[in-house]
A and B are shown apart, each in its own frame.
Chain A
Amino acid sequence: MENQTRFNLNAAVENWRNELAAQPNLASDDRRELETHLRDTISELRQRGLNDEESFVLARHRIGKPQKLADEFVKENPAKIWRERVFWLVFGLLIYRLWNTLASSAITPLYTWSNFHGAQRLEDLLPQWVLFYFPIWLRDLHYGPFLFIFLEFINTLLVLTVVICLVRGKLEKLRSILEFAFKNRLRFVLVAMLSVMLVSVVGNFIWNSLCVEQLRGVYVGICLYNAFWSSWIIAIVVWLLPTQNQKIPKRI
């Protein structure tokens, strides 16, 4: 009897709600829905003659442990976690690129070279056949020292387009092909590092085939150096992901 008077149902539900909130895979709408369910169960048990505490304990038991609940939600929508991880991966990459572009614009040989040669417009960097695909107003613009920032923006735009497609579920086939890379955190980090290195090397080849002759080769060293450091930044960002330590359960 003493226990019953001491038990505070609202505080208990509040505690339970906090436990749910600690699960990164449960959206606020999911939590709200689960709480309604818990309260419905409690009401039913009370009608059957159980006291507040007994009703709460039994209802909580029926609904399951928060961790297990979150796993059930992930099972039905594994792409959700996958998207979140890719988001963080790209977030890290973008931050690194932005920082790199802004910070290194004064010191890297490429920028020094371009400043020295007065590269201020796209036509100073790109051959005619590439320029052909740019609108005229973009070609004629004088970017000044912002030229490389503009190019970085185009780069970023490409990455962003892929990510938006991924997040909106447009590339589900690609997702299922890459599923093996998302089984656990370590594997994801390794695949992420390798991908960043690979993208940089491929990007370097593309750059070499696109840029004007004088610039070819200048970029190689910087590119590989950047790729090495970006991959470490990515590794750290991915390691600290909010969903850390969670293996993705197999879909039923």
Chain B
Amino acid sequence: MLTKDLVAASSKPLLLSILAGGESYGYEIIQKVRELSGGHIEWSDGMLYPVLHRLERDGLIESEWKNSETGRERKYYFLSAKGKKGLAAEREQWLKVHNTLCKLWKIKPASI
């Protein structure tokens, strides 16, 4: 399991990356993160929404209430133009950290 600090720090790039793949809603996002991380990143339900709202306030994502296939109304989030740029910046920074650590630990770094 990740530490609380790392979970908080990684929430922004994770959310932006998930939404870069298409619009989504809170519940689905949590499921996706759990699935992709193999259960290592466990977001609490209550923590996700304030983070989404902060990203929305910062103009990185936008939201809209829509009817889902099941008929239930859900608030869908999607990436804004500013969010796309924000994601590129986040990606660059995280890969820098990743590559530095890879060099230190003498493992093969990911391509940038």
Give complex CA distance A30, B54 in Å.
Answer: 13
Contacts of A41 in B (CB 8 A): 27, 45
Contacts of B72 in A (CB 8 A): 36, 39-40
Contacts of A69 in B (CB 8 A): 46
Per the CB 8 Å criterion, the residue count for chain A at the interface is: 21
Contacts of B74 in A (CB 8 A): 36
Q: State whether A63 touches B27 (Cβ < 8 A).
A: no
Contacts of A229 in B (CB 8 A): none
- Give the distance to chain B from A37, nearest Cβ to Cβ, in Å: 5
Per the CB 8 Å criterion, the residue count for chain B at the interface is: 18
Contacts of B26 in A (CB 8 A): 33, 36-37
Contacts of A36 in B (CB 8 A): 25-27, 72-75
Q: State whether B45 touches A64 (Cβ < 8 A).
A: yes
Question: Which of B44, B47, B49 is close to A33, meaning CB atoms less than 8 Å apart?
Answer: B49
Give a binary string over A225-252; 1 marks a CB under 8 Å from any B CB, 0 the rest. Answer: 0000000000000000000000000001
Q: State whether A76 touches B51 (Cβ < 8 A).
A: yes
Interface of chain B residues 24 through 52 with chain A (CB within 8 A): 25-27, 44-47, 49-51
Contacts of B89 in A (CB 8 A): none
Contacts of A252 in B (CB 8 A): 8
Query: Interface residues, chain B, CB within 8 Å of chain A?
Result: 8, 25-27, 44-47, 49-51, 53-54, 57, 72-75
